[in-house]
Chain A
């Protein structure tokens, strides 16, 4: 038995945030201390050195997604990238195009950006998804019209891990002159993404989801044909006017290094993490035969699992497994008692949603972690199952 009384809990929440890779940390540290210049201070050596490091990082990020460095805008994170892409694209084109399309399962910050546009007078279409979480391409095509400015579809889902067919969506958008934005915070560095092949015009990247630091992200903005967007902030004019504010050199360097590592190691890592995930799923199914997987099993992130333990409250289950760091869904809404709107959108009942866990594996997950997780969750599930206490069944 793998009892670990005093050990730190096994981290199974890689979608909420990932640890900084030690190699990333090492690359960042000098830029905090002896190399501290402001990259905008091009008039002196400290500034130029910082600027060169930022540009190197820009190349590394660009390379990971098959982009040109000039197409990468550094931001404070994926939330800002998503806000900038969606609001920026819609506002820039508002005179000719006043319609925005997205999916009901998108991340909160995408939906919030779309709602903000709605309040500004844009027409908004929020499309339902299929039961596996995938976009319905026919419904999407039907929703597009000549006044649609931007379509926003997540590359890989933060709760259910499903990978959307961006290439098909890109083709639909492109032939209508519509910009395609993709929140790729969870996908970048986990699965191969090529902006040319996918036909995306705007793509959001997060540092802390790919073993880089928090507080940094990027937005890919296509140059050919040019994706035009309006800036959210004004100020010092950094990042070609799209994103003012002093660039945090160490954070840029960290994201760059994280991108470079991902580019080198993604293929083998995806295979290893995917195998661990399959192991975890097989183990859990053995322990809990009634277990159900939420979201398409075939098309999902290698490290993602979202499962329903029928008849068992997810909160009780987490409480019964203090040795595991788990979540019920998006960290942003972790403290909310409402069941996940994402699970609802794929047709999971409120009861089942309250019985569901999101499990995220990643770079530092081990077979031992998986064994321990299967063991802990299996034991807890059996204990909680008797007597069966299904909430919400009163009356």
Chain B
């Protein structure tokens, strides 16, 4: 591929070479982890090793991890049936959370894209029915990190449970089940350098859960189906590497800040979404006033720079972001925002390509407007 700058890491990250090797090795083996013979037991062992690796990434007990086919399924499983509770979800949750609990009452966010904790407390106080709060750890579009620990404390004080979608955060910042106080937490392998097609729900001991996919009783009965052994093995390896590299990952913020400064110097009047919030080190959500996001994405793509107009799940149909609208952005402003997301192998040259292509488009748009 001739493309030179991949800046869409929040959509998917490349598979880490160590994980790729582990996946390839597992693919070359055989054995169903439920089989009692030697090959089955070897597959079971590989799955359990990965379970420990994933658990370690979030500081959970190994037995707390339930493997799924990905983040969407993990969120669905976490929220299935709403636990018979009243559901509150922040306004910036991923579609997979929002659509798992369409009945959720929405907790507003600030203009920086951070959940309003006082509003959360007031909503919980207004109704004595036991609740479940869904709050993501880091937003996939803006990178804004949410005060999940404080939200969990509020939730627990009010007798509520807290579900934390940590899919974008894991592997980018420290995720600790205990520090967050989350009762349920979800992860996706391919966002942190593992393979696509595998995710996990981390379930705090004592939290009840209704199985969604029934059958052979795998994953303690919560999630039936033959385990995706190579995928799970790759997830485990990627999780272990990610956990070990969190400190260096934080360094990506410098490159992101460079990108932000350069784009701001090109278009000083623009808005960076969540700029004042605590953000993931790798994410930059920025608007080019007057230029639709789809136009920017295509122009950048022609220049070999790959970014997105928002969550990849809804791309194809590029539409103004619900997340940015919740932050008070006008439809025009939200419609001109793109998401730039970096990763562990992003090079300074890629930021140069971005700034060049974005700058050229910006200048063209000003000429056209004049």
Contacts and interface: CB of A to CB of B under 8 A. Distances in A.
Interface of A: 8-9, 11, 13, 16-20, 22, 25, 28-29, 32-38, 40-47, 49, 75-80, 82-83, 107-110, 112-113, 115-116, 206, 208, 213-216, 232-238, 244-251, 318, 322, 324-327, 330-335
Contact of A11 (B30, B198, B298): B30
B307 to A, nearest CB: 7
Interface in B27-81: 27-32, 34-40, 68-73, 75-76
12 contacts: A16-B35, A19-B29, A38-B12, A40-B313, A46-B1, A77-B226, A109-B214, A109-B215, A215-B228, A245-B96, A246-B197, A250-B195
**Most chain A Cβ neighbours within 10 Å, of B39, B95, B311:** B39
Contacts of B307: 43-44
A247 B312 contact: no
A18 B95 CA distance: 35
Interface stretch (B14-22, B201-209, B267-275, B358-366): B14-22
Nearest to A249: B196
Contacts of A116: 214
B188 to A, nearest CB: 8
Chain A interface helix/strand/loop/mixed: loop
A233 B312 contact: no
Contacts of A215: 69, 197-198, 227-231
Contacts of B306: 41, 43-47
B311 A251 contact: no
Contacts of A112: 214-215, 224
Contacts of B15: 32-33, 36
Contacts of A44: 3, 8, 297, 300-301, 306-308
B28 A235 contact: no
A301 B197 CA distance: 30
A327 B32 CA distance: 11
A233 B100 contact: yes
Given A233-B100, A332-B226, 18 more contacts: A8-B39, A17-B30, A20-B30, A37-B8, A37-B12, A38-B8, A38-B12, A43-B318, A46-B3, A47-B8, A76-B69, A107-B216, A214-B226, A233-B76, A247-B197, A249-B196, A250-B197, A325-B35
Contact of A13 (B37, B188, B297): B37
B49 to A, nearest CB: 16
B34 A216 contact: no
Contact of A331 (B40, B190, B312): B40
A234 B100 contact: yes
A18 B195 contact: no
Q: Give 7 closest A-B pairs by Cβ, nearest first.
A: A332-B216, A215-B228, A109-B215, A236-B313, A248-B197, A76-B69, A234-B99
Contact of B308 (A16, A41, A78, A208): A41
B217 interface: yes
Contact of A234 (B28, B76, B214, B314): B76
A109 B34 CA distance: 15
Nearest to B102: A234
A301 to B, nearest CB: 17
A277 B37 CA distance: 21
B71 to A, nearest CB: 7
Contacts of A77: 69, 225-226, 228
A236 B76 contact: no
A334 B36 contact: yes
Interface in B213-251: 213-218, 224-231
B12 A246 contact: yes
A33 B17 contact: yes
Contact of B20 (A32, A75, A115): A32
Interface string B177-198: 0000000000010100001111
A99 to B, nearest CB: 20
Contact of A333 (B3, B28, B69, B216): B216
A113 B211 CA distance: 11
B96 A9 contact: no
Contact of A32 (B8, B195, B213, B228): B195
Contacts of B230: 213-215
B324 interface: no
B70 A246 contact: yes
A35 B187 CA distance: 22
B72 A245 contact: yes
Nearest to B305: A44
A79 B225 contact: yes
A43 B306 CA distance: 8
B326 interface: no
Contacts of A333: 34, 216-217
B353 interface: no
A79 B12 contact: no
**Most chain A Cβ neighbours within 10 Å, of B213, B311, B315:** B213
A144 to B, nearest CB: 24
A373 B153 CA distance: 61
A236 B35 contact: no
Interface in B235-293: none
B346 interface: no
B225 A244 contact: no
Interface in B65-112: 68-73, 75-76, 94-96, 99-100, 102
Contacts of B8: 37-38, 41, 44, 46-47
Contacts of A78: 225
A318 B306 CA distance: 55
B114 interface: no
Contacts of A237: 95, 313-314
Given A79-B215, A236-B72, A236-B313, A331 B11 contact: no
A34 B307 CA distance: 17
Contact of A109 (B6, B188, B216): B216
Contact of A235 (B23, B75, B228, B316): B75
A331 B226 contact: yes
Nearest to B76: A233
A235 B313 contact: yes
Contacts of B311: 236
A42 B298 CA distance: 10
A13 B100 CA distance: 38
A79 B216 contact: yes
